[in-house]
Amino acid sequence: MSTPATALTWLYVPGDRPERFEKAAASGADVVLIDLEDAVAPADKDAARATVAEYLARPHDGPPRHVRINDGDRGRADLAALAGLPGLSAVRLPKVESTARLDAVPGDFPVHVLIESARGLAAMDEIAAHPRVAGLGLGEQDLASALALTAPEALDHLRLRAVLAAAAAGLPAPAMSVHANVRDDDGLLHSTRRGRDLGMFGRSVIHPRQIPVVRQAFAPTDQEVARAREVVLAAEATGARGAIALPDGTFVDQPIVDRARRVLELAARLAA
């Protein structure tokens, strides 16, 4: 099962907690991210790999199951164990710094990459354009540490770079990185809306309670829905694909109409 380009929520679940896998799938998340990297202690990683491989040895209903693998030798062992499993929808590759890393990935499953270092940022356009890449994201906590960033606003430039790199490569808009405080709903809502304003779409979460907050942040407002409906109705009334005049005298062209349709589709999806 491929990952929908409209995925809003990507729920991480530790790879050494198999009792949580199906709970995550039933949480309402659009994608389940089984984590073999940061969520698993080094001494437990080999056992977790075997557990995840056993789980993904059969297909599953519900949302796509992705796996975030490890870096280095452990990552190569993860890929060898996971390649070809029917329950695997895609792999998330951490700490990608060059296309050489992607050239070495076996199989034909989609690969989502995480940029988590200055070297990765420098090569981000080339990485995004690699044919194996299905999605691009930032490891914001690692980047903030590596670059000594202390203000949340300092990440905006990096987020915009990721949005541009993904768009230029024909990839979906990047999803935001996790918000680490699972009790900070206000902070999650505010920062997610900020990411939305920058062109990002969706967010990784680490607890099911964060899912409705992310959905709320990306839900179009009543004003946005009304304007989108006005644009689409005007386009349908004229049947033209060129510039269209709205009742208030504003002219809009086809990209605006296309965006208006996406707004209405997202509003209908969230309302359902």
Domain CATH for 112: 3.20.20.60
What are the structure tokens assigned to 26, written together?
A: 């039933």
Q: In the listed set 179, 203, 218, which residue is the last one of a domain according to the structure?
A: 218
- Looking at residue 2, what is its pLDDT? 42
Q: What percent of the chain has pLDDT over 90?
A: 84
Q: Is residue 3 part of a domain?
A: no
Of 116-120, 168-172, 254-258, the one with minimum mean pLDDT is 254-258
Among 181, 177, 89, smallest CA distance to 140 is for 177
Q: Which amino acid is at 272?
A: A
What are the structure tokens assigned to 86, written together?
A: 């029917």
147 shares its domain with 258? no
- Looking at residue 236, what is its pLDDT? 87
Mean pLDDT across the chain, nearest whole number? Answer: 94
18 shares its domain with 102? yes
- Looking at residue 4, what is its pLDDT? 54
Report which DSSP code applies to 28. T
Report the C-alpha gap between 19 and 92 in whole angstroms: 21
Residue 266 has pLDDT above 50, yes or no: yes
- Looking at residue 124, what is its pLDDT? 98
- Looking at residue 1, what is its pLDDT? 43
pTM, full prediction: 0.91
Q: Is residue 4 part of a domain?
A: no
What are the backbone angles phi and psi of residue 179, rounded to the nearest 5°? Answer: -105, 115
> How many domains is the chain built from?
2
* Residue 5: band (very low, low, confident or very high) from pLDDT cuts 50, 70, 90: low
Number of H helices, E strands in the chain: 12, 9
Mean predicted confidence (pLDDT) in 236-246: 79
Question: The domain containing residue 267 runs over which residues?
Answer: 222-271
Report the C-alpha gap between 167 and 199 in whole angstroms: 10
Report the C-alpha gap between 204 and 9 in whole angstroms: 6
Q: Would you tell me the crossing angle of helices 211-218 and 185-197 to the nearest 10 degrees?
A: 40
Q: Is residue 267 part of a domain?
A: yes
200-232 pLDDT, tens per residue?
999 999 999 999 999 999 999 999 999 999 999
54 shares its domain with 161? yes
- Looking at residue 239, what is its pLDDT? 75
167 shares its domain with 248? no
24 shares its domain with 94? yes
Q: Is residue 206 part of a domain?
A: yes
85-109 pLDDT, tens per residue?
999 999 999 999 999 999 999 888 9
Of 53-57, 183-187, 239-243, the one with minimum mean pLDDT is 239-243
209 shares its domain with 245? no
Q: Is residue 213 part of a domain?
A: yes
Q: Within a 10 A sphere around the Cβ of 164, how many other Cβ atoms?
A: 14
Q: Is residue 67 part of a domain?
A: yes
- Looking at residue 96, what is its pLDDT? 97
- Looking at residue 169, what is its pLDDT? 98
152 shares its domain with 257? no
229-267 as b/e, with b when 16 or more CB fall inside 10 Å?
ebbbebbeeeeeeeebeeeeeeebeeebbeebeebbebb
Q: What percent of the chain has pLDDT over 70?
A: 98
* Residue 235: band (very low, low, confident or very high) from pLDDT cuts 50, 70, 90: confident
Q: Is residue 127 part of a domain?
A: yes
